[in-house]
Amino acid sequence: MLRPAVPPFRRLILPRALAGLLPILVALLVGACPVGAAAWALEAGPFAESGASARASSASLAAAPTGPAAAGAALPDPASVALAPAEEQAQPAFAPSPSPLAAAPASVQAAMAPLAKPRSFVAEAVQRVAASVVRIDTERNVPPGGLDPAFSDPLLRELFGDPSSRSRERGQGSGVVIDRQGLVLTNAHVVDGVDRVEVTLADGQQVDGSVLGTDPVTDLAVVRIEPGAELRAAPLGDSEALEVGDWAIALGTPYGLERTVTLGIVSSLHRNINSLGFSDKRLELIQTDAAINPGNSGGPLINGAGEVVGINTLVRSGPGAGLGFAIPINLAKEVAGQLGRGTKVVHPYLGVQLVPLTARLAREHNRDPNALVTLPERDGALIQTVLPDSPAQRAGLRRGDLVVAAADQAVANPARLLRLVEASHIGESLAITVLRGDRELRLTIRPEALPAAG
């Protein structure tokens, strides 16, 4: 018996109907399994825009087991899924993004980290020395002057007291600890003639001090205090290594204001103190524009590395104010070594007063028709005065002699001659070459101790 053939349209419609039902069945199966849905959702995305890929996916799903047993094994009980503990439930397919800075390389993290507070080289230099800077307070008796003769009466002295006992003068300066055994370097004029010395350390502790020795010629002095664990010696530098334009930092207690710091540069070197009006001193100073005020005397002048290169000693007041001067630390170390041992500092001297002479000045002088003497037209140290009963007089030096060499070294100015004399030894022969008129003479002189120092 012949059966009617299945119409062609039915053969086409049936597969299409099954294909239409298949996504519905998959959706139902996926809806019952959250894990499967999440995986499918992630995997189906790329196929959404490709018809061929979508068909291939449908074919793979159609080939999966569809029997009741397979369905039962694939689908867990919805109730059991809903009641499962939270820690047993599947984790979401996404996680919080890590911090961009945490994932960055270490170099990037260091660059993005908060910047430390910047510090200047001045603060670093001061930190090396600040603990060694001290304040020095002094007291001295002032001799009474111009008292009424009536006060010589014992009865009046008993009634009104002794005026001289109330005449006390107080002073204040600075200093720097140079030895942990308790040696403090300062200026001679800070402690000259004082009866009492009190030293205030950087931490505020106050201790008594005693003057070991002073050298008025170089304006240096050493004070001893009781050594303690808190004492810290300042690092000493090399003043010969200084150049004009180097940084200069002055520390001290001007006007009693402790821990004061001022900044400037080295304005000049080898400034002769005699040119500043101090004829009783023998110094070549460091000139600086760092502010040095009353009370800074004796405090350290340091370089940019935090090393002491000078001891503050002078300040210009009035016209030209703002110029300060310091004693080179190389000279201060030499003098402090002698004073610290309790020995006096002896300075050789010749017994002459000198003025600088250049060839140009000599020519101008010789052109004057009223000139009494003819000067040698050369650079040197011109003797203006020969002191009586001095080494210079005994050696035969005269006024008008031009010193052009000493110790076989050329002398172009008085400062050079003084340096050579300072380097000589008491009582030993020193060769001097002078020009007297048109003659060149070579004399021998024996320096003696400077009277003011002995």
β-strand partners of 348: 449
Question: In the structure encoding, which two tokens stand for residue 248, read together?
Answer: 């200069």
Q: What distance in Å separates the CA atoms of residue 43 and residue 265, rounded to the nearest whole number?
A: 76
Pairing outcome for strands 448-449 and 409-410:
unpaired
Closest CA to 138 of 233, 227, 221: 221
Contact 422, 281 (CB under 8 A): no
Catalytic hit among 219, 267, 347, 424: 219
Q: What distance in Å separates the CA atoms of residue 260 and residue 251, rounded to the nearest whole number?
A: 6
Contact 339, 215 (CB under 8 A): yes
Contact 141, 266 (CB under 8 A): no
User: Residue 428, SS3?
Assistant: coil
Question: In the structure encoding, which two tokens stand for residue 133, read together?
Answer: 């800077």
The amino acid at 329: I
Catalytic hit among 297, 379, 401, 424: 297
Question: In the structure encoding, which two tokens stand for residue 83, read together?
Answer: 């009641």
Q: Is 132 a catalytic residue?
A: no
Catalytic hit among 132, 137, 174, 189: 189
Q: Is 297 a catalytic residue?
A: yes
Q: Positive or negative, the Cα torsion across 295, 297, 302, 308?
A: negative
φ/ψ region of 219 (left if φ > 0, alpha if ψ in -120 to 50, else beta) reads: left
The amino acid at 102: A
Q: Is 219 a catalytic residue?
A: yes
| Residues belonging to the active site | 189, 219, 297
